[in-house]
Structure 1
Amino acid sequence: MSSVLVTAVAGMVFGISLAAPPGPMNAIIAEESVLRGWTAGCRAGLGAMLADAIFFVLTLVGVTAVVQEYGILSDLLYLLGGGLMLVFAVDAATNARAEAGFVDSEAATGATGFQKAFVLALTNPYQLAFWLTVGVGLTQPGTLELARHVPAPVAALVGDLVVETGSPMLLGGFFGGILVWVTGFPAALVASGRRVDGFAPVIAAGSAVVLAGFGLLFCWLGVTALV
């Protein structure tokens, strides 16, 4: 396998590994997928992906470094992001009570998931922290030991693989991996929702719990940092 192809595949693995772990973004994607269908779930995922693309551009031009220089901006971001997560958690809990089962609808309300995920991703301190650290390394010429930045099961598979950073193939593969996740994850949820009675409200309730948990954590981190 050529080094170019290896770099692209490594980037895709990296992108999927970043997008797949449970968290606020996947909570929004899951809620939209089981309540409004595959298209709505994909829209939510694309909202989060668009935020990553914006962070990528801002990293290239050096704007994200401003947040790193002025710590209070990061602290305020914790409060803003945490507050939004709590609001969306209430919405998810309301949806969980209202829906009796899977709703395969492509109504315009699906766009709400895009807006939620986009705004939430832009105010997610963890997402910004990634682009201030690992993300900067991805954009600059050098090397990256993949196993140090992916979950343990994936690290065991990639072993000692080192890839070239600053490469268009690595970055293309990275965003390609995110795209694979934000289309495949909703598809899996929709397929399960069609087969399992009561699946949708359970997932929506779980999304509410995840959003509330992260929201409270972020608000606590923001308040303690400011005081």
Structure 2
Amino acid sequence: MTSLVATLGAGVVFGVALAAPPGPMNAIIAEESVLRGWIAGFKAGLGAMTADGIFFVLALLGVVTFVERFPLVRAAMIGLGGVLMLYFAYGAATDVRSSFTAGGGASDAEDPRVGTGFRKAFVLALTNPYQILFWLTIGVGLLRPGTLDVLAQTPYVGESLAGVVVVDTGSPALIAGFFGGISLWITGFPAALVSAERRVDAFAPIVAGVSAVVLAGFGVLFLAQSAGTFLP
């Protein structure tokens, strides 16, 4: 039981560690949260997690290796992701202006765009090269019996955390904990942003502006990576 709890807990830590670093998914979650409320932010996070669920099923079936065998297919997906990020960056920049209107952002009940966050994050996650690469490498490794250095996979600081948490892979408890950690993040992160926005009136346009910059930056980066494959 102790081993089961430790593996489950390690999965939660792994899920949070991968979901928390700044990136295009969190930019969309942040924008939706401060402009349209917690439900909108949660739905955006749920869209990204749903894409992870699809990748997980494809990894179980061995389908994800198709993308690995055909670099041009992966490059095309990365290019599409870059275009989508630039499009969503334009939308975020538009939201900066609208958030300055009297009364601030609309509530969940008032804003008809509450459901759009799910679709934006879901479509973007399906073409996000970071998520694709994760499921082609580490994600597949989660399903195979062996060991995994959990915190070593954390973006930006993984090298300094190597060896701290090492668990057995191929365990249902690890997978359950992993998605539980993501669920924890997409629930708590929007709540924290909404709470902060209520305390600082200028918080919404700042977050929308930062989201636009982040999405535009990743969009240009992904388009450059895609072009590098097609135009060596």
TM-score range, shorter chain: over 0.9
The answer for the alignment partner of 1:93 in structure 2 is 93
The answer for the alignment partner of 1:62 in structure 2 is 62
User: Are residue 129 (structure 1) and residue 125 (structure 2) matched?
Assistant: no
Choose from 114, 119, 123 the match for 1:110. Answer: 114
TM-score in terms of structure 1 length: 0.95
Q: Give the deviation of 1:148 after TM superposition.
A: 1.9
Do the aligned residues in 1 keep the contact of 2:17 with 2:151 (CA within 8 Å)?
Answer: no
**Aligned partners of 2:68, 2:159: CA distance in 1, in Å?**
28
Do the aligned residues in 1 keep the contact of 2:152 with 2:160 (CA within 8 Å)?
Answer: no
User: Are residue 32 (structure 1) and residue 36 (structure 2) matched?
Assistant: no
Do the aligned residues in 1 keep the contact of 2:86 with 2:216 (CA within 8 Å)?
Answer: yes
Choose from 200, 203, 208 the match for 1:204. Answer: 208
Specify whether residues 141 and 45 from structure 1 end up closer, same or farther in structure 2 by C-alpha distance, changes over 3 A only.
Answer: same
**Aligned partners of 1:79, 1:6: CA distance in 2, in Å?**
39
Q: How many residues align?
A: 227
Specify whether residues 222 and 157 from structure 1 end up closer, same or farther in structure 2 by C-alpha distance, changes over 3 A only.
Answer: closer
Report Cα offsets for 1:143-186 as digits up to 9, x if no partner: 11223212576876785332111101000000000000001000
Specify whether residues 166 and 30 from structure 1 end up closer, same or farther in structure 2 by C-alpha distance, changes over 3 A only.
Answer: same
Give the secondary-structure state (helix, strand or coil) at the position aligned to 2:164.
coil
The answer for the alignment partner of 2:148 in structure 1 is 144
Give the secondary-structure state (helix, strand or coil) at the position aligned to 1:104.
coil
Report Cα offsets for 1:116-160 as digits up to 9, x if no partner: 000000011110000000000001111112232125768767853
Choose from 172, 188, 192 the match for 1:188. Answer: 192
RMSD of the TM alignment (CA)? 1.7
**Aligned partners of 1:221, 1:27: CA distance in 2, in Å?**
21
Structure 1 range deviating more: 7-16 or 157-166: 157-166
The answer for the alignment partner of 1:53 in structure 2 is 53
**Aligned partners of 2:58, 2:209: CA distance in 1, in Å?**
35
Do the aligned residues in 2 keep the contact of 1:102 with 1:194 (CA within 8 Å)?
Answer: no
Do the aligned residues in 2 keep the contact of 1:142 with 1:165 (CA within 8 Å)?
Answer: yes
Do the aligned residues in 2 keep the contact of 1:102 with 1:193 (CA within 8 Å)?
Answer: no
Do the aligned residues in 1 keep the contact of 2:30 with 2:41 (CA within 8 Å)?
Answer: yes
Do the aligned residues in 2 keep the contact of 1:35 with 1:200 (CA within 8 Å)?
Answer: yes
